[in-house]
Amino acid sequence: MRIWSKISAYYKKIDRFSHLLVGMPSYDKYVEYMEKFHPNETPQTQREFFKEALEKKYGAGSSRCC
């Protein structure tokens, strides 16, 4: 059982690193933040979180090429 917890922890580190590498925020970090600082609020779903992140990064509905 201990090996699976190590594998899980390693996977989370790789996942966080890969998201930072491409400029995407970490959903796990977001959930940790919400639990710590906004415990009475319901966090966004993972789908909502990444949709909002993509809209912030690339602009929602933007038709400009540059």
Q: Give the model confidence (pLDDT) of 16-52 as tens digits.
A: 777 677 777 888 889 999 999 999 999 999 999 989 9
Q: What whole-number distance in Å separates Cα of residue 8 and Cα of residue 56?
A: 30
* Tokens (6 digits) for 14: 């790789």
- What pLDDT score was predicted for residue 42? 96
**Within 13 Å, how many C-alpha atoms sit on residue 63's CB side?**
0
For the full predicted model, state whether its pTM sits above 0.85: no
